[in-house]
A and B are shown apart, each in its own frame.
Chain A
Amino acid sequence: MQLSTRHLLGIKELTPSDISLILSTAEQFKEVLQRPVKKVPSLRDVTIVNLFYENSTRTRFSFELAQKRLSADTLNFAASSSSAAKGETLLDTVNNILSMKVDMVVIRHSSSGAPHFLAQHIPAAIVNAGDGINEHPTQALLDAFSITEKYGQLKGRKVAIIGDILHSRVAQSNIHLLNKMGAEVVVCGPPTLIPKHIQSAWNVTVSYDLKETLNWCEVANVLRIQLERQNQVLFSSLREYRLHYGINRQLLDGLQKPITVMHPGPINRGVELDSDVADSHQSIILQQVENGVAVRMAVLYLLSNRNLA
């Protein structure tokens, strides 16, 4: 059993059996994380650089922890404190790092396609940790892992993705993954934040009615309103957004059945999610974060097999 690809650029590039392999391997890594010694020696001969051209807390920590748990050597790079601030190009930066004998590159970049560009030009294995508004594949994988953990399987699951679909790489990766694994997807949000032809292009259903969507779904994956990516006014105010698309306790209690609430973080409390929803027993937001380490361990482990054999 091995992955069909040398890089993890996006869910788009994975086959359903790749996804299953990653999720089942992650299950074994989750067991590793419960042990007294939460570490295995698998990647002790591998060096990985984390290139973060965009801010991140969860993803960066999660990747770094996954690498340490696999005994890999790691280098961390933050664009703001590096020569990128002096105008060095992405390719120059990476080639310089690679000449120090690095095997894998984890990259987050505000330009969509940056990881794909690197994959074409350098010999290391590339892992996309979020590129612009394109994909965030490890987030979708950990979301899928968390849903599977709770419900047993993805096939036939009813998943709603709610909020800013237009700017969301998390939404895009999740939609690809859920489609490939046979789950049903509804996207819900204000018309201005949902891409026009999404329904025909991606095999999802569009709804503008939050209550109707929540009544339909088993899992609601709520997205963050990405204030840093709004270069035009797509809704009039955060208060208005909250009134129509924010999830509060009263709304959840009024549903026909209890649902599970997910969020990729960071949460805008009181905008897309109220605190008494985010911190309730229906939310698996912190489990998602925990699972993220196991899923990223699986990705790095399987890619190292594929590349360094």
Chain B
Amino acid sequence: MQPILDTTAYAKAVQQLAIALLERHPNLNNTVLVGIQQGGVVLGWDLVRQLRKESGLQDLEMGLLDITFYRDDFRTSILAPDRMNIPFSIEDKTVILIDDVLFTGRTIKAALDVLLDYGRPGRVELLVLADRKEHRQFPIQADYVALTVSTQRSQKLKLLSAEGGGQTLVLLES
């Protein structure tokens, strides 16, 4: 298990993402946040807290998105579905899709399919903590990236909760 980000570096990365997001969307007008289960939801809530701090906006909401029913590989790895909850309209909004790691691009493709079943967003942007760029299988890239990580195909990049609060990003061999 090789640490990529410790809790301090993680907090800094979240701050960097929040600032980049606010730069492009001051006051987050007409903008909604949607985290992808499960890592994207963890990152998403940390991002929401940071955005509140940076912008003073208190009524920020985040939707939870689960791709289980839309996976292209659900018969090979059986997964129980996670909670899905998008309590607001995404019609004509700018949706910030949040995930912890961008890898093959298949998760994001499925997440876009889910999103379109909820309405027709005006624009979708992708925010990720880490990008494993060299393993992309679909033509998808992120609009906000905290760091790009060079990895082996077989390795796993995972967000773990640290003891005493905060998150760490680690590289696992499998």
Contacts and interface: CB of A to CB of B under 8 A. Distances in A.
Interface of A: 1-2, 21, 24-25, 28, 31-32, 35-37, 39-42, 301, 304-306, 308-309
Interface string B34-71: 00000000000000000000000000000000101110
Given A31-B85, A308-B75, A37 B117 contact: yes
A30 to B, nearest CB: 10
A28 B78 contact: no
B82 to A, nearest CB: 8
A42 B74 contact: yes
20 contacts: A1-B78, A1-B80, A21-B80, A25-B80, A28-B66, A28-B69, A31-B83, A35-B118, A36-B118, A40-B70, A40-B117, A41-B69, A41-B70, A42-B69, A42-B70, A42-B74, A305-B74, A305-B75, A306-B78, A309-B76
B38 to A, nearest CB: 14
Interface of B: 66, 68-70, 74-76, 78-85, 113, 116-119
Contacts of A306: 78
A128 to B, nearest CB: 22
A113 B75 CA distance: 29
Residue among B69, B80, B84 with max Cβ neighbours from chain A (10 Å): B69
B76 to A, nearest CB: 7
B80 to A, nearest CB: 4
B75 A28 contact: no
Given A24-B80, A25-B81, A28-B83, A40 B119 contact: no
Given A1-B78, A28-B69, A35-B117, 12 more contacts: A21-B80, A25-B80, A28-B66, A31-B83, A31-B85, A36-B119, A41-B70, A42-B70, A42-B74, A301-B69, A305-B75, A308-B75
A296 to B, nearest CB: 15
A31 B116 CA distance: 15
B78 A36 contact: no
Nearest to A43: B69
B71 to A, nearest CB: 8
Contacts of B116: 37
Contacts of A309: 75-76, 78
- By Cβ-Cβ distance, the 3 closest A-B pairs, closest first, are A37-B117, A40-B69, A28-B81
Contacts of B118: 35-37
A270 B141 CA distance: 64
Contacts of A2: 78
A125 to B, nearest CB: 13
Nearest to B71: A42
A39 B116 CA distance: 11
Contact of B117 (A1, A39, A304): A39
Given A31-B85, A309-B75, A36 B70 contact: no
A2 B79 CA distance: 8
Contact of A32 (B69, B75, B82): B69
A42 B117 CA distance: 14
A37 B117 CA distance: 5
Contacts of B82: 28
